[in-house]
Amino acid sequence: MKRRSALGWGELVIGIALILLGILTFARPAGALTGIVFVYGIFAVITGIADIAFYIKMERHTGFGPAISLVTGILSVLAGILLLLNPGAGGWALVFLFPIWFIAHCISRLSHLTIVRLTAGTGYYYFTMIANILGLVLGFMMLFRPLLSFFSVTYLIGFYLILMGIDHIVVAVSGTGLRR
């Protein structure tokens, strides 16, 4: 019998990278908007691919997949490609597109809560629920107040990245990120 590590290494690496990126965003807010747009584009593409993979995996195992995961995955990949192809305009695009992506991603994560409760337990369920509800509030704040969003987007992004990094680390340590 093959032994598996109780640690999801991929989730752990992504979690640490997200936390470091969030801290970097707080440390250099003025330069973060233009200097890290490229990195945000890469993470948007990776997140989108993960959402699409989740949809495919659920479709294969249950016969139906959460369509919201497919839609948000496609939106994430498209937003990421936009940021990668035009990083100069990416700062302005983040002010308008990031809140939409933020909201869509949080809705997608909230739609997975029943599966999270079954596989990871109630502690991680409540953490995920609270983190993504906060993400929804931040997303709507950015969407309805674009000027405020323009000046505070780096702090909001940093806060969200740190939350999502913690989320990935919890998944890695709990063992729910492992393949069955």
Rounded to two decimals, the pTM is: 0.52
CB atoms within 10 A of CB 142: 24
pLDDT band at 1 (very low <50, low <70, confident <90, very high): very low
Tens of pLDDT, residues 104-115: 888 988 888 888
Residue 86 has pLDDT above 60, yes or no: yes
Tens of pLDDT, residues 23-64: 988 887 766 666 667 877 888 899 889 888 888 888 887 777
CA distance 82 to 72: 15
CB atoms within 10 A of CB 53: 12
Contacts of 89 (CB under 8 A, 6+ apart): none
Q: Say which residue, 16 or 175, is predicted with more confidence.
A: 16
2 Ramachandran zone, left/alpha/beta (phi>0; psi -120 to 50): beta
pLDDT of the residue at 19: 92
**Averaged pLDDT for residues 134-139:** 86
